[in-house]
Amino acid sequence: METPTPKSTNLVLILDFGSQYTHLITRRIRKLSIFSLCISGTSSLKTITDLNPKVIILSGGPHSVHSEDAPTFPQGFIEYVESNGIFVLGICYGLQLIVQKLGGVVDIGDKQEYGRMDIEVLKESGLYKSGGIGSKQSVWMSHGDEAVKLPEGFSVVAKSQQGSVAAIENPKRKFYGLQYHPEVTHSPEGMVTLSNFLLNVCGIVPEWKMEDVLEEEIKVIRKVVADDDHVICALSGGVDSTVAATLVHRAIGDRLHCVFVDNGLLRFKEQERVMQLFEKDLHLPVTCVDAVEKFLGELKGVVDPEKKRKIIGKEFITVFDEFATKLEKEIGKKPAFLVQGTLYPDVIESCPPPGSGRSHSHTIKSHHNVGGLPKDMKLKLIEPLKLLFKDEVRELGKILNVPEGFLKRHPFPGPGLAVRVLGDVTEGNALEILRQVDEIFIESIKEAGLYDSIWQAFAVFLPIRSVGVQGDQRTHSHVVALRAVTSQDGMTADWYNFEHKFLDDVSRKICNSVRGVNRVVQDITSKPPSTIEWE
């Protein structure tokens, strides 16, 4: 099932031209209680008009407007926004696109600008209502080209310390532009500028709230799922699938049938713990399917992470199809839908943003809910959370009265430990070693009172051995890595800075308790350049 966009008379639509920061724009705008949605920058005009936006933001991107394959908005875009009174804000590449398409000139800058830089406001503008003429602020620049001649009717609002155009506007035509990135934290006053633009210039009322999302999604589910249809839900025990299941259960009641699959890639005692939580706290009827041999058999000898994800996605669907066949004998009708807790970041990293047209962003990795699904699957998908970020899902879970213990759980990847064992997951006792190491790490974090301060923490089994000395004997054992990050939505993340004593204690516990491990390392890489998971 394709989840329709929540209705909003104040939709801010972002056209993605490939910037690594594009989806931060979406997130920042939602923080202002304004609904925003990101689609491909080369989506058709019909896709854009069907969404009926009040504001359109053109994102940054790695291209030059002079490149032969430079992305651009569709034919008729300018006429559409002007005839419908739609405000347009161009950011970085988006500003240059506005300048070029409306008759100005963009050229290679004499001095390229990257990183932090001061800008100065030159004239009164709704963009900088909090600061007057002559005020300065630090912003994050990332561009080689620059606007050297503005289209007729446009004026320069701010310039950089090097003298290049930093902000432009044409209030009469409702076009605005920022040469820098207001969406990143490196532009400290960027949120103020976005707020000024959306609330003061565009007159948007900040009225979008999670209760509206709940109401809209329940309506959508009831509209798509017929009164006599039954639905299967893939429950993992994580936040996403739990909230998705609770939402769908509220919409259709006992016609929802939850399935928890033990695929052999779960954490320490995960099956027992999760099943107990479902029965005790959520009171959801859940069937546990033991598919350990099936999954591990298919994964034997596989080392490529993308292949792992696709195999796991395919096997999950096979399990659900088999469950549906058994269920048909009980209820007299085969379920037609499968519920998954796919989130917006999963969709973003796995495939082009929603909307038609090719994407100018790279696929980071295939989420097994998205890129790993077989094209010929029989069950239709219901993904009620696919337009939400993780923190929004937690907020929705609170409204649905999902127990706090579920909502605070750290994210766990759909492919499970398969993407935390680098290499063949069936080789030796890698999975069992990883489970023990991960359990020690997580329990130590909880004992130290740090669990709620960390977005995600886990261990990784590395495909290498190192020489060590244990019990006065030489060992040639495995190496494990510890990873812990802080984040708001999973799109960007910083590594968590543990105290040295904590790391020392954890390392000793692991090496003393887990047979086969003699070395522990810590991953201190942010996202970007790395992803949170290793595979």
Q: Cβ contacts of residue 386 below 8 Å, gap of 6+? A: 3, 342, 343, 344, 346, 347
3-class DSSP assignment, residue 471: coil
Q: What are residue 470's phi and psi, to 5 degrees?
A: -135, 125
Does 19 count as an annotated binding residue?
no
Task: Tell me which of 183, 392, 395, 535 is the catalytic residue.
Answer: 183
Does 302 count as an annotated binding residue?
no
Separation CA 287–CA 308 (nearest Å): 25
Task: Tell me which of 38, 92, 202, 511 is the catalytic residue.
Answer: 92
Respond yes or no: is residue 146 known to be catalytic. no
Respond yes or no: is residue 181 known to be catalytic. yes
Respond yes or no: is residue 92 known to be catalytic. yes
Task: Tell me which of 143, 181, 368, 478 is the catalytic residue.
Answer: 181
The structure tokens 């020690």 sit at 440
The answer to whether the CB of 54 falls within 8 A of the CB of 10 is yes
User: What six digits make up the tokens of 23?
Assistant: 């989806």
If one counts every other C-beta atom within 10 angstroms of the C-beta of residue 198, the result is 24
- Among 397, 343, 388, which residue's Cα sits nearest to residue 370? 343
Separation CA 195–CA 201 (nearest Å): 9
Does 67 count as an annotated binding residue?
no
3-state SS record for 317-329: HHHHHHHHHHHHH
Which residues in 131-253 belong to E strands, given as ranges?
136-149, 155-160, 165-170, 175-178, 231-235
Burial class (CB in 10 A: 0-12, 13-18, 19+), 361: buried
Does 489 count as an annotated binding residue?
no
The answer to whether the CB of 117 falls within 8 A of the CB of 163 is no
Separation CA 190–CA 301 (nearest Å): 49
Residues in the chain: 535
User: What six digits make up the tokens of 511?
Assistant: 């090496």
- Which residue type is seen at 337? F
- Alpha helices by DSSP H, listed for 69-169, are 77-83, 93-101
Does 237 count as an annotated binding residue?
yes
The answer to whether the CB of 29 falls within 8 A of the CB of 206 is no
Does 479 count as an annotated binding residue?
no
- Among 409, 411, 304, 315, which residue's Cα sits nearest to residue 366? 304
Does 236 count as an annotated binding residue?
yes
The answer to whether the CB of 440 falls within 8 A of the CB of 458 is no
Separation CA 316–CA 117 (nearest Å): 49
Which residues are tagged catalytic? 92, 181, 183
List, as residue ranges, the binding site: 236-242
List, as residue ranges, the binding site for ATP: 236-242
